[in-house]
Amino acid sequence: MGDSPGVPTAPSPSDRLPEGPFPDGLFPHAAGRCAAVVLDNLARPYPYSAHHVRRSAEDTAMPGELHPAFGTSFDWHSSVHMHWLGVSVLGSGQLESEAAEQLRTALGANLTQEKLAVEAAYLAANPTWERPYGWAWLVRLAAACAVSHDAEVRSWAVHLGGCVDTVEGLVVAWLDKAEYPVRHGLHTNSAFGLAWLVDAFRTLGRDDAAAACEAAARRWFADDAGWAAEWELSGQDFLSAGLSEADLMARVLSPAEFAAWLDRFLPNLAAGSRMLTPVGVTDETDGYMVHLHGLNLTRSGQLARVVAVLRSGRAGGTHDGGSPAPAAGSPEAVLAAAVRPLFKAGLRGLDSGDFMSTHWLASFAWDAAESIGALDPA
């Protein structure tokens, strides 16, 4: 991964850097590695995939004009979640002071009131754009800022308030009229977006929006059964449609309700299932094929969260880790066994050095590692 001229980057991982906030060497030097990725991405205005619908011959604004806060990192949603990753890395406390200051400066330069007002106006003028994937990452970014122990980072949540107001209105309007969810392994997957939205809205105290997401989840997915787990993989997925749905329902149902729902939804899942098996990438320069690195990582994180809820249900709703081991061959045991192999396979994508991987995969690696760490703390 090349550095942009004149832009300071975080130091390369070395033995001086802490191993990171995750257990058992799961993601070595995670903070330093991810900070370097974020700094590189935020300094790269091109290549950029704008996804902008031009309405006239005069509509010739460049990406940086349309998106002064999120006009780097190849596309808008990747720029948004690179900012989320940067905030998460800062919050880990694992960076050396110089790297932390570089990262703080880069994030703060974008997350200003003025730049974010332009982003909010663009979202309002283009009400189906980035639905729901980009919306979810934006609200998640705001939530991460809002719960920070750092006063400056919390001020970025205030700056993001107009964007969140806009997205909240768009989400509620969409859910009010959408009869059917989108079920595939790409950005417009409904369950994946709703899962992050419901959590972030809860964190931000936006209870009406969270309730709308919960109601849609139940309406769309509560009666699902017999998911075709062996059929769902396609060549450019970065999401498991089935596990995205399970991850959402784990946030909406009680642990007991969820365990019963999962038994109906994935009745024949077993070790070696295609849904639980790592996949490889044959061409690191192909932007769609490298989605499969992300598939390994998202599956890993989703499985960790599902297992955590199943474990909580066996422990009577607590998370004290004191419950006995699950029965061999039980859904919890089968799913738990797949978590780390999937993560390890997906992490290889961060080492490719190709921008088609580096502009997005680090966010998904950090997210999965957080969930695995919560499941199996050091």
**pTM of the entire predicted model:** 0.92
Higher pLDDT, 24 or 267: 267
For residue 364, CA distances in Å to 45, 77, 288, 319 come to 21, 13, 16, 24
Read off the tokens for 142: 């705001």
Q: How far apart are CA 44 and CA 2, in angstroms?
A: 10
Q: How far apart are CA 118 and CA 147, in angstroms?
A: 24
- When pLDDT is cut at 50, 70 and 90, the band that residue 317 belongs to is low
The CA-CA-CA angle for residues 357, 361, 362, to 5°, reads 125
Percentage of residues in the chain having pLDDT higher than 90: 83
- When pLDDT is cut at 50, 70 and 90, the band that residue 318 belongs to is low
* pLDDT tens digits along 129-146: 999 999 999 999 999 999
Asked if residue 19 has pLDDT above 50, the reply is no
Asked if residue 110 has pLDDT above 60, the reply is yes
Residue that has been written with the tokens 């880069």 in this structure: 106
For residue 12, CA distances in Å to 24, 336, 347, 357 come to 21, 33, 17, 18
Read off the tokens for 123: 């979202």
Q: Are 257 and 265 in contact (CB under 8 A)?
A: no
Q: Are 297 and 346 in contact (CB under 8 A)?
A: yes
Higher pLDDT, 324 or 118: 118
- When pLDDT is cut at 50, 70 and 90, the band that residue 276 belongs to is very high
Determine the pLDDT at residue 1.
Answer: 35
Determine the pLDDT at residue 369.
Answer: 97
Q: What is the 3-state secondary structure (H, E, C) of 212-238?
A: HHHHHHHHHHCCCCCCCCCCCCCCCCC
Helix runs in the chain, H state only? 30-42, 63-66, 76-92, 97-110, 113-125, 133-146, 151-159, 161-177, 190-203, 207-221, 241-252, 255-265, 291-314, 331-347, 355-358, 361-375
